[in-house]
């Protein structure tokens, strides 16, 4: 294949090339993703739809540049109307799903059947699925004892941050993102410190910051309060409600400033507990050293285990992507 064709792949070209292949040849569907980190996630999703007739090849949008991100994917794939049944784009929704038809980019993503999106803000939100976090800790520590109720904590966190998140989306939707940018939302909702045996003070600290910021907005933009409330009702059919806020907030923030700060001390305590158990059960010092060394060699990096977490198939967002893939394949 010439360099020119490689750099200008279209679904039509791939379809024509497929027809020139032997009859028993499996049809190749190229899936553009935003970065190397996204390949494993989309491979998990797309692999379920491979069979004797088709397979997916996941690629970065350019082999001439290290530029990453949704805009690069869309620019390459949509600029020459190249998307189709043989060439698809797989992107993080960011806020485009919640914005629906508000911007040109959100319209491109929400209206094109050959663009698959996460529906959550990003892949990190899937990795931080509350129901899966205990299993992440088990895999990282080889200790199955539950210290913290992750689903309850993330539910409470979501309920606390929900009204402020609505203000954040309202400002963006009305073209005033600079008034309350993403970093300011992250500052208001980050975990600064936590006692994993008593997480309530951490939630109360976040709640104080959130309420303080909301009261400032209500005083300054009191005429728009009804619009913010209406926005909540508008976004509810898209899956955003007080219990699910963390799935729609910036994925990097939830990963680094919330979930990682939760599971790191939990895993640290679980490892220490297992080490004490080994010491108590050891008959002599040499056995203790051998067993401890064996245990330590079996441990996994906490952050890496979270990044590799794929226990999110119960999420409705995952099921929606699967339905989108099925609908896409029916177009062939």
The angle subtended at Cα 178 by Cα 174 and Cα 183, nearest 5°, is 120
Distances, alpha carbon 91 to alpha carbons 34, 82, 163, 204, 324, in Å: 6, 16, 27, 35, 13
Per-residue pLDDT of the chain (332 residues; tens, 9 = 90+): 434 334 456 655 455 555 556 666 789 999 999 888 999 999 999 999 999 999 999 988 766 555 566 666 666 666 546 788 999 999 999 999 999 989 888 988 999 999 999 999 999 999 999 999 999 999 999 999 999 999 999 999 999 999 999 999 999 999 999 999 999 999 999 999 999 999 999 999 999 999 999 999 999 999 999 999 999 999 999 999 999 999 999 999 999 999 999 999 999 999 999 999 989 998 999 999 999 899 899 899 999 999 999 999 999 999 999 999 999 998 76
Whether pTM > 0.85 for this model: the answer is yes
Count the neighbouring beta carbons within 10 Å of the beta carbon of residue 49.
15
The angle subtended at Cα 44 by Cα 3 and Cα 90, nearest 5°, is 50
Q: Residue ranges per domain, the chain?
A: 3-120, 125-311
Count the neighbouring beta carbons within 10 Å of the beta carbon of residue 211.
14
Mention every residue, 6+ apart, whose C-beta is less than 8 A from residue 207. 160
Contact 257, 194 (CB under 8 A): no
């Amino acid at each position: 294949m010439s360099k020119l064709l490689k750099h200008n792949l279209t679904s039509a070209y791939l379809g024509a090339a497929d027809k020139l292949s032997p009859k028993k040849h499996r049809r190749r569907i190229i899936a553009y993703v935003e970065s190397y980190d996204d390949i494993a996630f989309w491979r998990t999703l797309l692999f379920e739809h491979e069979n004797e007739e088709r397979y997916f090849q996941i690629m970065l949008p350019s082999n001439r540049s290290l530029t990453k991100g949704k805009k690069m994917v869309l620019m390459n794939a949509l600029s020459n109307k190249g998307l189709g049944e043989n060439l698809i784009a797989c992107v993080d929704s960011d806020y485009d799903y919640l914005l629906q038809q508000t911007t040109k980019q959100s319209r491109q993503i929400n209206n094109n059947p050959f663009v698959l999106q996460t529906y959550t803000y990003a892949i990190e939100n899937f990795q931080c699925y509350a129901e899966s976090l205990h299993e992440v800790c088990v895999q990282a520590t080889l200790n199955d004892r539950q210290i913290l109720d992750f689903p309850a904590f993330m539910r409470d966190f979501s309920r606390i941050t929900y009204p402020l998140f609505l203000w954040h989306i309202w400002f963006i939707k009305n073209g005033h993102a600079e008034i309350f940018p993403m970093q300011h939302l992250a500052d208001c909702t980050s975990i600064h410190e936590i006692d994993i045996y008593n997480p309530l003070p951490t939630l109360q600290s976040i709640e104080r910051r959130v309420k303080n910021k909301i009261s400032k907005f209500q005083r300054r933009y009191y005429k728009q309060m009804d619009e913010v409330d209406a926005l909540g009702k508008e976004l509810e059919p898209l899956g955003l409600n007080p219990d699910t806020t963390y799935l729609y907030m910036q994925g990097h923030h939830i990963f680094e400033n919330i979930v990682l700060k939760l599971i790191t001390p939990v895993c640290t305590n679980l490892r220490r507990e297992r080490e004490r158990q080994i010491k108590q059960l050891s008959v002599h010092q040499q056995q203790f050293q051998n067993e401890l060394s064996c245990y330590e060699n079996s441990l996994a990096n906490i952050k890496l285990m979270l990044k590799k977490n794929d226990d999110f198939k119960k999420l409705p967002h995952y099921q929606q992507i699967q339905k989108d893939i099925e609908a896409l394949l029916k177009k062939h």
